[in-house]
Structure 1
Amino acid sequence: MEQTPSFISPPLIPEDLRLPETLKLGVLASGSGSNFEAIAHSIAQGQLNAQIQVLIYNKPKAKARERAERLGIPAILLNHRHFRSREALDHEIVNTFKQHDVEWVIMAGWMRIVTPVLLDAYCDRVLNIHPSLLPSFPGVDGVEQALAAGVKVTGCTVHIAKEEVDSGPILMQAAVPILPDDTSETLHARIQVQEHLIFPRAIALAALQYSE
């Protein structure tokens, strides 16, 4: 049986980040989907004025699908292995999101490089979260990179996605100290707690800054 998520209380979104209009979100997830559920939890608690229209996942065994089923959110599998190119996958993602009236794209642990097909369709409306304080340690294994470098502080970053991996304007960050006995598992777990807090806030911030 799935354990209770680590986010018990709703992420606190300040009054100045409360949105006057409801955002229509499309979420991309490849793994457990804990950030996806944190966002859904924030919405359910009346913190983030948004609605998740659909979840797209690319791995048949991704636990994000189970979360979506429990939350009553439509979930669609687009297995990347069934597409001839990244662009072909992104075309289908865009088509699916358009069919579900999605306005903002949220990459919540989406382990695929996105292309201009998606980025141009949702210009400045694709958000990504990364487990480091960008621009430090971009790319895969951000947690392991931080441990190998011997830095004392790392964290997580929510940013507007651009074609270059883990680039684009930074919306929000949270710092996490690295403890002497940290492993990649313990450090990543503490970073995830902060991810769950800042991602809903960053979505609200992006909507206020980038909406027409």
Structure 2
Amino acid sequence: MTIRFAIFASGSGSNAEALYQATVEGQLRGEIVGVFSDKEDAYVLERAKKWGVPAAQLSPKAYASKADYEQAVLDQLRIWQVDFLVLAGYMRLIGPILLSAFPNKIVNIHPSLLPAFPGKDAIGQALAYGVQITGVTVHLVDAGMDTGPILAQRAVEVQGTREQTETFIHAAEHELYKEALDQLWNEERIK
């Protein structure tokens, strides 16, 4: 059974690109069946076009409520016949409609060693606090802000400038995400 997944991203999509490459190279056994963004100008939509993967963009502001927005997103996911949602720089909290439609099947990556530095600008938070070690966490999504069960973590040493540290963190993200997803999906296939 091949896991069919949709990538959710709000920006450039460097993690999405790494996941796509991992599927092409056979390092991640799954199929990207769609790319979704809440931002009209998100570069990840261009990446999806280049890959030949269906993409959709919906603006939350176009809907009367978060529930209406999530229902429209869910309608698109049903068309794509998605098994898992993979958040890769998606900057919105997932609400009850998607959480109930995909119980324990929404995965996120966060640039810190959770529970430290949840939320926006985790790298900036870590640097402001003065830590010498930060890292990356892959976790299941729940109703909280970066509070779901942790699947995998990797430590990253703070080195040089913020930009240099970000480069090391992104490299760790690109490796850890595909490894954690492949392990999760292998366990899912065994069930």
TM-score (norm 1): 0.86
The aligned counterpart of 1:204 is: 182
The aligned counterpart of 1:9 is: none
The structure 1 residue matched to 2:130, chosen from 140, 150, 160, is: 150
* Aligned-residue CA RMSD (Å): 1.3
- Cα deviation, 1:107-165, whole Å, max 9, x if unaligned, reads 11100111111011000000001110001000111000000110100011110000011
The aligned counterpart of 1:182 is: 161
Could you tell me which amino acid in structure 2 is paired with residue 176 of structure 1?
V
The aligned counterpart of 2:170 is: 192
- Unaligned regions of 5+ residues in structure 1, if any? 1-20
Q: Percent identity?
A: 36
Total equivalences in the alignment: 190
Cα distance between partner residues in 1 of 2:69 and 2:107: 18
The aligned counterpart of 2:105 is: 125
Which shows bigger deviation, 202-211 or 80-89? 202-211
Q: CA offset at residue 87 of structure 1?
A: 2.1
Which shows bigger deviation, 186-195 or 62-71? 186-195
The aligned counterpart of 2:145 is: 165
The aligned counterpart of 1:88 is: 68
Given the alignment of the two structures, is residue 63 of structure 1 paired with residue 82 of structure 2, yes or no? Answer: no
The structure 2 residue matched to 1:32, chosen from 5, 8, 12, is: 12
The structure 1 residue matched to 2:30, chosen from 50, 73, 77, is: 50
Cα distance between partner residues in 2 of 1:35 and 1:84: 31
Which shows bigger deviation, 196-205 or 99-108? 196-205
Cα distance between partner residues in 2 of 1:209 and 1:94: 25
Q: SS at the partner of 1:196?
A: helix
Cα distance between partner residues in 2 of 1:208 and 1:119: 22
Are the equivalent residues in 2 in contact too, given 1:124–1:210 (CA < 8 A)? no
Cα distance between partner residues in 2 of 1:66 and 1:209: 32
Could you tell me which amino acid in structure 2 is paired with residue 208 of structure 1?
N
Q: CA offset at residue 204 of structure 1?
A: 1.6
- Unaligned regions of 5+ residues in structure 2, if any? none
The aligned counterpart of 1:12 is: none
Are the equivalent residues in 2 in contact too, given 1:124–1:160 (CA < 8 A)? yes
Q: SS at the partner of 1:207?
A: helix
Cα distance between partner residues in 1 of 2:13 and 2:65: 24
Cα distance between partner residues in 2 of 1:86 and 1:52: 25
Q: CA offset at residue 210 of structure 1?
A: 4.9
Cα distance between partner residues in 1 of 2:73 and 2:99: 11
Could you tell me which amino acid in structure 2 is paired with residue 189 of structure 1?
T
Higher helix share: 2
